[in-house]
A and B are shown apart, each in its own frame.
Chain A
Amino acid sequence: MPLQPDIVDQIVRIVGEERRVLIKKTDLLSYGYDASFGFFVPDLVCQVKRVEEVSGIAKLANREKIPITPRGNASGLSGGALPIEGGIVIDVSLWNDVLEIHRDDMIAVVSPGVITADIDRAAQKVGLMYPPDPSSSNVSTIAGNIAENSGGPRGLKYGVTKDYVLGLQVVTPEGHIIRTGGRTIKNVTGYDLTKLIVGSEGTLGIITEAILRLIPRPQATISLMAVFDDIVQAGYAITNVLTSGILPSKIEFMDQASIWAVESYRPMGLPINAEAVLFIELDGHPLAIRDEVDYVYKLMQKTGALRVQKAETSDQEEKMWKVRKLVSPAVARHKPTKISEDATVPRSQIPSFLKRLREIKDKFDIELVVFGHAGDGNLHPNILCDQRNKEEMKKVEKAVAAIFEAALDLGGTLSGEHGIGLMKKSFMPMEFDQFSLEMMKRIKQAWDPNNIMNPGKIFPKPGDRLVLR
């Protein structure tokens, strides 16, 4: 249902600049997608730049019961930024005027549209680090990362977005401007609303400013690569490293299908008869990591690695990680559609999860490639398919369900870092009993009595099921 002209006029008045209010058809169609599946066209897009604008629009929308969907750069993988009930998309991507690094407090204060990697780059200039590094960090906005509680390879050692958000400014669905948390590391004053907002997927409010924790930047890194002829053995190697007293900054994983894909795309000299390759990065003091890398090297050999290779120079290190980066384009060449899942298991269950994934691949006769972060149990099984092939997509839907079942069986969770959004909401009752879900719904009801804020996300409606066709 298109918005009444007087609503559009009121929004233009709130924003004060007509060119930041988009209602042309080609513009609206351009805000109907993100990096997940699904396509939903909004009725209006507003490119906000001040908190008063957001508050004004929220008040108007709440009064008129118009859905609002907050959006950053729409690189999310679970549909969080999709306006599935139409209405207003609040685009914060142009709002990037504040990026302050306070070195003495070791914090950053940022506007919602600041690009994640820019925060880390600014921190680097004064010897600090903002650790969360989702692979989209060169394009994703910080508000999007906070709403989805994004992870990344460094999550293994440093944790994820929620571990770095100290305080927020948020506009509630009723249009109130509130503050949560603050600028201190320790803060137990009142309920921790900061943590509630982080990962709430845009269903409780619109993030308009964030205070982030920074840490000292490690002085050096060193990397090694280990090749295995048995995928499950590679899983044990991960467990062995993690229980050795050494915590690498990254452990990344590639299975045989991804090795083949890379070798046929751009030959890098990987052994094609191998079943798995691990890439391990250690960071810290140069002397300490030199010692640690030797230990990990021997540990890999002891766990049955066919070959272990240490990157001695920064050139070698760069080349090693380039192989890992090639996986995505290499597998994408194969089939047009890539369904990237992020079901996650406890670290000790990595070998079992790998075994279950192999069985699922055979049972449903799908092309399943497993690569990505491994050390934190957040394996990324990717299903390669063709969206246009309806029969194939039916099989894929079943395989996705089987992957979730396997992860939950092993004590894991539906999503490690992508979020529930639209894609996984029908599986929520698999992970939560009725009352656990009910408490979440009550929180939503208290914050958003008219259900205007990103409606249709996270909570399943009766009869909801995963549809990829």
Chain B
Amino acid sequence: MEAQENVYLKKAADLTYDCVRCGYCLPSCPTYLTMKTETQTPRGRINLVRMAAEGHITVNELSVPIDLCLGCRACEHVCPSNIQYGKMLELVKGSIRYHKKQTSSPLRRFCEGFVFKHVFPSKSIMNKLGSFLWVYQKSGVKKVVHMKPLRYLLPKKLELFDKGLTEAKPPFRKNDGRRYPSISERPALKVAFFTGCVMEAVFYRINLLSIRLLQKVGCEVVVVNNQTCCGALQLHAGEEELAKEMAKRNIEVFEKEEFDYIVNSAGGCGAMLKEYDGLFEGDPEWLERARHFKQKVADISVILNKLGLKLERVLSYRVTYQPSCHMTNVQKVTKEPEALIQSIEGIEFMRLNNPNLCCGSGGIYNLIHFEESMHILNAKMSDIKDTKANVIVTTNPGCLLQMKVGIAKENLHDHIKAVHLVELLAEACEITENRWI
């Protein structure tokens, strides 16, 4: 175990030598903006990784600034030396994970391992979670909980997230293995749909709308059976081996049939899928298969933009767009979502002053580092309020949830709503998840 901890750390340190310490990353870093010390910057973290590898600080000391990094990778985007910050971060997290496994209590180890190994990757558990949320929301329990004075029993943190959750998966719906025909006269593409774990459980409706939109532009859509979580949550927690398992399973099941594209509507998942090859260095067989897989991965906005979505309704909204960090910095998809929003008649588009600043969601960062996440969200919300937009569009479930939390936190529900791009487009096409077009 000890050895593995050092192997990861050394590999991470090797990547730090590319850093020339110019500091160009500083203005891009959300934690520098809110925490205001060099320690909480990409340049600072890169330096501390080297310090730990050289034995000047312990892995425990290193873990504090590393855990506070959102992993948004905005720094990579502006780095003149092309530092592989994301890769370095994964390796360091791997090292910290091994270190903590040795030092943390057996119960904690078991719980964390259980969540990453058995909860997110498990369709049935995630479905049950979705069902639980659905029952909670539809049965009136939510209303009871929200009644004063009961609401005060709910911690502030949970109350905000609770307000953010709006549309869980109904228990009787099964999506896996289903095929949806193209409804265009000219079938254009055959695509596989990647559902994602949180997306499918919590934002099931958005996945359905995505499929409807793909059908509309002429795609035959297959929800491939036995697909699993993309593995990003595991990898970002330092569980590289688990992430590899997820990746292998997804590659296998999506190889079973020939598709033009593997489409998803979660910016973070898409980014992970597109970096599957990074997991298999030194394993030529899987590297090849991962490369083949990743070439087909596309965000839904790219496909809709490519095939041309016919819009039917005028929507008179003032819209701003909060790009998902991994959509921008990893998938490098920036133009398509904006182009789609602007193609809707009646929409007034207001670009954020600092769109590339992370919203503070960071996968499960907002659950683990609630206070820090809320400071970053405050900066984002003030930018949003300046645009005077009444609709915030996002392209990733984490960001969507965070935006909803932001709206709840600032009591803006009467003025602003947060939607996924797919929801806005569906509205403009008069598509609903239940009603056929």
| A29 with B51, Cβ < 8 A, contacts A329-B81, A329-B82 known | yes
A336 to B56, CA, bound (A): 22
- Chain B residues with CB under 8 A of A388: 17
- Chain A residues with CB under 8 A of B17: 336-337, 387-388
Is A26 within 8 A of B65, CB to CB?
Answer: yes
| A34 with B21, Cβ < 8 A, contacts A25-B57, A94-B36, A333-B82 known | yes
A376 to B207, CA, bound (A): 59
Q: Is B253 an interface residue (CB 8 A)?
A: no
For B27-46 the 0/1 string (1 means CB < 8 A from A) is 10000000011110100100
A26 to B80, CA, bound (A): 25
Is B37 within 8 A of A27, CB to CB?
Answer: yes
Is B47 within 8 A of A30, CB to CB?
Answer: yes
Q: Is A62 an interface residue (CB 8 A)?
A: no
Q: Is A31 an interface residue (CB 8 A)?
A: yes
Q: Is A35 an interface residue (CB 8 A)?
A: yes
A33 to B23, CA, bound (A): 11
- Chain A residues with CB under 8 A of B41: 30
Report the minimal beta-carbon distance from A242 to chain B, rounded to whole angstroms: 29
Q: Is B18 an interface residue (CB 8 A)?
A: yes
- Chain A residues with CB under 8 A of B26: 73, 139
Q: Is A338 an interface residue (CB 8 A)?
A: yes
| A35 with B23, Cβ < 8 A, contacts A27-B39, A30-B48 known | yes
| A336 with B18, Cβ < 8 A, contacts A29-B47, A136-B24, A139-B23 known | yes
- Chain A residues with CB under 8 A of B18: 332, 336
Report the minimal beta-carbon distance from A217 to chain B, rounded to whole angstroms: 22
For A330-341 the 0/1 string (1 means CB < 8 A from B) is 001100111000
Number of interface residues, chain A, beta carbon within 8 A: 30
Q: Is A75 an interface residue (CB 8 A)?
A: yes
- Chain A residues with CB under 8 A of B61: 25-26
- Chain A residues with CB under 8 A of B56: 29
A93 to B26, CA, bound (A): 11
Q: Is A74 an interface residue (CB 8 A)?
A: yes
Of B17, B23, B36, B57, most buried by chain A (CB within 10 Å of CB) is: B23
Is B20 within 8 A of A35, CB to CB?
Answer: yes
Is B27 within 8 A of A138, CB to CB?
Answer: yes
Closest to B40 in A: A30
Closest to B18 in A: A336
Is B27 within 8 A of A139, CB to CB?
Answer: yes
For A301-328 the 0/1 string (1 means CB < 8 A from B) is 0000000000000000000000000001
| A33 with B37, Cβ < 8 A, contacts A25-B57, A332-B82 known | no
| A74 with B44, Cβ < 8 A, contacts A26-B65, A29-B56, A30-B38 known | no
For B401-436 the 0/1 string (1 means CB < 8 A from A) is 000000000000000000000000000000000000
Closest to A77 in B: B22
Q: Is A22 an interface residue (CB 8 A)?
A: yes
Is A33 within 8 A of B47, CB to CB?
Answer: yes
Of A26, A75, A387, the contact of B22 (CB 8 Å cutoff)? A75
- Chain A residues with CB under 8 A of B81: 328-329, 332
- Chain B residues with CB under 8 A of A73: 23, 26
Of B21, B22, B48, the contact of A29 (CB 8 Å cutoff)? B48
Report the minimal beta-carbon distance from B266 to chain A, rounded to whole angstroms: 29
Q: Is B64 an interface residue (CB 8 A)?
A: yes
Report the minimal beta-carbon distance from A455 to chain B, rounded to whole angstroms: 22
Closest to B83 in A: A332
Is A74 within 8 A of B23, CB to CB?
Answer: yes
Closest to B45 in A: A30
A236 to B371, CA, bound (A): 60
A75 to B27, CA, bound (A): 12
| A30 with B21, Cβ < 8 A, contacts A115-B27, A329-B82, A332-B81 known | no
Q: Is A47 an interface residue (CB 8 A)?
A: yes
Report the minimal beta-carbon distance from A416 to chain B, rounded to whole angstroms: 18
Interface SS of A by simple majority? loop
Is A139 within 8 A of B24, CB to CB?
Answer: yes
A329 to B22, CA, bound (A): 12
A75 to B41, CA, bound (A): 14
- Chain B residues with CB under 8 A of A337: 17, 20
Give the A-B contact count at a CB cut-off of 8 A: 77
For A1-27 the 0/1 string (1 means CB < 8 A from B) is 000000000000000000000100111
Report the minimal beta-carbon distance from A307 to chain B, rounded to whole angstroms: 27
Of B23, B36, B39, the contact of A75 (CB 8 Å cutoff)? B23
Of B26, B56, B57, most buried by chain A (CB within 10 Å of CB) is: B26
- Chain B residues with CB under 8 A of A91: 38
A136 to B20, CA, bound (A): 13
Report the minimal beta-carbon distance from B63 to chain A, rounded to whole angstroms: 10
For A406-442 the 0/1 string (1 means CB < 8 A from B) is 0000000000000000000000000000000000000
Is B37 within 8 A of A30, CB to CB?
Answer: yes
Report the minimal beta-carbon distance from B28 to chain A, rounded to whole angstroms: 9
- Chain B residues with CB under 8 A of A47: 36-37
Is B57 within 8 A of A29, CB to CB?
Answer: yes
- Chain B residues with CB under 8 A of A329: 79-82
Closest to A387 in B: B17
Is B38 within 8 A of A31, CB to CB?
Answer: yes
Is B39 within 8 A of A30, CB to CB?
Answer: yes
- Chain A residues with CB under 8 A of B23: 35, 73-75, 136, 139
- Chain A residues with CB under 8 A of B37: 22, 27, 30, 47
Is A26 within 8 A of B39, CB to CB?
Answer: yes
Report the minimal beta-carbon distance from B289 to chain A, rounded to whole angstroms: 28
Of B20, B27, B38, B62, the contact of A332 (CB 8 Å cutoff)? B20
Closest to A140 in B: B23
A337 to B65, CA, bound (A): 26
Of B22, B48, B57, B82, the contact of A136 (CB 8 Å cutoff)? B22
A292 to B349, CA, bound (A): 40
Closest to B41 in A: A30
For B174-197 the 0/1 string (1 means CB < 8 A from A) is 000000000000000000000000
Is A33 within 8 A of B21, CB to CB?
Answer: yes
Closest to A336 in B: B17
- Chain B residues with CB under 8 A of A27: 37-39
A46 to B186, CA, bound (A): 67
- Chain B residues with CB under 8 A of A328: 80-81
Report the minimal beta-carbon distance from B15 to chain A, rounded to whole angstroms: 10
Of B39, B56, B64, most buried by chain A (CB within 10 Å of CB) is: B39
Report the minimal beta-carbon distance from A43 to chain B, rounded to whole angstroms: 16
A329 to B23, CA, bound (A): 14
Closest to A20 in B: B36
Of A29, A31, A35, A91, most buried by chain B (CB within 10 Å of CB) is: A29
A328 to B38, CA, bound (A): 24
For B71-109 the 0/1 string (1 means CB < 8 A from A) is 000000001111000000000000000000000000000
- Chain A residues with CB under 8 A of B27: 115, 138-139
Closest to A31 in B: B38
Report the minimal beta-carbon distance from A106 to chain B, rounded to whole angstroms: 27
Of A115, A328, A332, most buried by chain B (CB within 10 Å of CB) is: A332
- Chain B residues with CB under 8 A of A32: 47
Interface residues of A in 214-254 (CB under 8 A from B): none
- Chain B residues with CB under 8 A of A332: 18, 20, 80-82
A115 to B33, CA, bound (A): 13
15 contacts between A and B (CB under 8 A): A26-B39, A26-B48, A26-B57, A29-B56, A29-B57, A30-B38, A30-B39, A30-B41, A32-B47, A34-B21, A139-B22, A139-B23, A329-B81, A337-B17, A338-B20
Q: Apart from A31-B38, A329-B79, list 15 A-B contacts with CB within 8 A.
A: A22-B39, A25-B57, A29-B47, A30-B37, A30-B47, A33-B47, A35-B20, A75-B22, A94-B36, A136-B23, A328-B81, A329-B81, A338-B20, A387-B17, A388-B17
Closest A-B pairs by Cβ, 3 of them: A30-B38, A30-B44, A30-B39
Question: A-side interface residues toward B, CB under 8 Å?
Answer: 22, 25-27, 29-35, 47, 73-75, 91, 94, 115, 136, 138-139, 328-329, 332-333, 336-338, 387-388
